[in-house]
Structure 1
Amino acid sequence: MRPAPFDYVRPASAAEAVWALAGAHTAGREARVLAGGQSLVPLLNRRAVRPDLIVDLGRVPALSGIRAGRRGIRIGALTPHATVERSTDTELHRRLPVLPEAAALIGQLPVRVRGTVGGSLAHADPAAEWCLLAVLLSAELTLLGPDGRRVVGADAFLRGRHRTALRPAEILVEVGFPAAEPAAALVEYAAQPGRIPEVAAAAALVLDADGRIGSARLALAGPLERPMRIPAAEALLIGVRPGRESFAAAAAKAARITGASGDLGTLAAVLLRRALAESAARAAVLAPVRRERMELVPV
């Protein structure tokens, strides 16, 4: 099946893209933004969506790239997954190695080459790796619209299954990860390699000098309307030594709180335990030098 007819524009700047979207909205026409096309094009071909206008961001190079600085790691919305996966940026790998690791899990290679970080976040699939990490790591999303820029936290941006805080004439221009979490880990289960996972879990632990957990982040995606952090499960981990029993208790509580049940609930608990164990192993390696490094890493 072919897409329904639509008008097409390919702006040269983010401002031009916003102008085109605002014009369509004012005229009562539906407009869609095309980034890498890995989510939108299949919907167009099935005529699941029938926009009047497609705004293609492919010629806006300012929206691509990975930047490390005092505000953390910033990734342009048009940056392909494969660019993050293959990045040799030492600051990216030192502060947030989970980002290139997660990028490598997304789809098959053609999807990672064409698909973009911003496109995945704007599509807001509840099991998508970028959505899960954005929630886990308290990402900040920069949006550009007719009234200028605004920054929205990931938890507020992701409102539900394929629903975001984007307004009709806004585009996502950048996602920022302000905090260094070198021990963060993500694990997932998919029925087939390259498919969107049924369940994914992520954790980021920091160990104190005595080996106890000083801070904990824990998030789940897949069997929910959107990825969620689980503060009540995180609280169970603070001040305890990492281990099978503490991880099992936190994972079980997280699964209950999120409402994951049946086979998906069992799978969620298993993946949460695995994410915690992997993060703890990384944190144990980092613990002897973490105090020194934290003075060097702006967070």
Structure 2
Amino acid sequence: MYETTYHRPTTIDEAIRLVGDSGGEGKFLSGGMTLIPTMKQRLAAPSTLVDLRHVAELKGITVNGRDIRIGGGTTHGEIAGHDGIRSACPGFAALAGLIGDVAVRHMGTIGGSVANNDPAADYPAALKALGATIHTSRREMPADEFFVSLFETALEEDEIVTAVSFEAPEQCGYEKFRNPASRYAMCGVFVAKRGNGVKVGVTGAGSNGTFRWEPAEQALSLNFDGAAIDDLSVDPSDMLSDLHGSSDYRANLVKVVTKRAVAKAQSH
């Protein structure tokens, strides 16, 4: 057994101070959908847990026309059920409703998911495709710069994701091919269209984490229809390969799931 000290701060400054006082052995807890199971498996043993769920300034959703800002402590369920997001950006609300199960959506937060950057998480692909801004306790940065690699972001150890913000596109859609047990994406694709420009974010398939599929963006910007990517292919050497699916399988999935995401975007 190992000993862990639990703290429940009510402000961001207090939370940062508590982690700083831990001597580099403290962890922020924001929902706990990843950290708690990792601790149970003895793969992580932080000396200090700083629970962010009671920090009011991390919560809340603001929708002003097409401008959307979501606090880092907002749960997946709150995002999925928010009328403003469902109206302005239905693809993003639908994405949140596909995460895990009811229990996960009740506890898990967007800030925790973004900070963890699991290679099969849903939000990173959407935030890249939406050209979102990640707000932290120190700064703000584009999603393309924030997500670095597998489980790696630009965050410092004592830095907290306080919010994400983006402008809702004209059309958007998300589709994912789910692992039947975990419901994580073996491949998930978020497509966002603004004017003549289209961005495509992919999760669950890339060997270096979430990525933008730029050839598909170029093709769909000229013709926003699934048929526009018929002649494209994805390099299997850039794909993950594991017991759930080979790199060739995932390369094919990226194309198939992108077409489905485009169809969903067209239906909104």
> What TM-score results when the alignment is normalised by the length of structure 1?
0.81
CA contact (8 A) 2:120 2:204 kept: yes
Q: Distance in 2 between matches of 1:140 and 1:257?
A: 30
Aligned: 1:85 with 2:80 = yes
Matched, 1:221 2:207: no
Q: Does 1:269 align with 2:267?
A: no
Identify which of 184, 188, 203 aligns with 1:196.
184
Residues 1:185 and 2:185 are matched in the alignment: no
Alignment of 1:1-299 (within 5 A): 4-24=2-22, 27=23, 29-69=24-64, 72-89=67-84, 92-144=85-137, 149-177=138-166, 179-192=167-180, 195-206=183-194, 214-224=196-206, 225-240=208-223, 242-249=224-231, 252-253=232-233, 255-256=234-235, 259-260=238-239, 261-282=247-268
- The answer to whether the 8 Å contact 1:205/1:280 transfers is no
String of CA shifts for 1:124-180, please: whole Å, max 9, x gaps.
Answer: 111211111111111111111xxxx30021121111111111111111111111x22
Pairwise CA distance, 1:243? 3.9
Structure with the largest fraction of helix? 1
Q: Percent identity?
A: 28
Contact 2:80 2:86 in 1 (8 A): no
- 1:210 is matched with none
Question: Measured at CA, do residues 229 and 275 of structure 1 come closer, stay the same or move farther in structure 2, by a change above 3 Å?
Answer: same
Letter in 1 for 2:189: A
Counterpart AA for 1:14: I
The residue identity in structure 2 corresponding to 1:111 is: V
Change (3 A) 1:50 1:202: same
Q: Is the 8 A contact 1:203 1:219 kept in 2?
A: yes
Change (3 A) 1:160 1:171: same
1:281 deviates by 4.1
For residues 18 and 46 of structure 2, the distance between their equivalents in structure 1, rounded to whole angstroms, comes to 13
- For 1:258 and 1:272, how far apart are their aligned partners in 2? 19
CA distance in 1, matches of 2:157, 2:227: 48
Question: Shift of the alpha carbon at 1:194?
Answer: 5.5
Letter in 1 for 2:202: L
Number of aligned positions between the proteins: 260
Deviation string 1:49-105 (CA, Å, 9 cap, x unpaired) is 11111111122122111012378211111111111111122xx23321112111110
- Return the index of the structure with the highest Cα Rg: 1
Residues 107, 193 of structure 1: 8 Å contact kept: no
| 2:83 match: secondary structure | coil
| Length-normalised TM-score, structure 2 | 0.90
Q: 1:88 to 1:280 in 2, by over 3 A?
A: closer
Distance 1:215 1:115, change over 3 A: same
Displacement after TM superposition at 1:223 (Å) = 1.6
| Residue in 1 that maps onto 2:244 | none
CA drift at 1:244: 4.7
Q: 1:211 is matched with which residue?
A: none
Query: Which AA in structure 2 matches 1:227?
Result: T
Structure 1 vs Structure 2 CA RMSD: 2.0
Range with greater deviation from structure 2 (93-102 or 38-47): 93-102
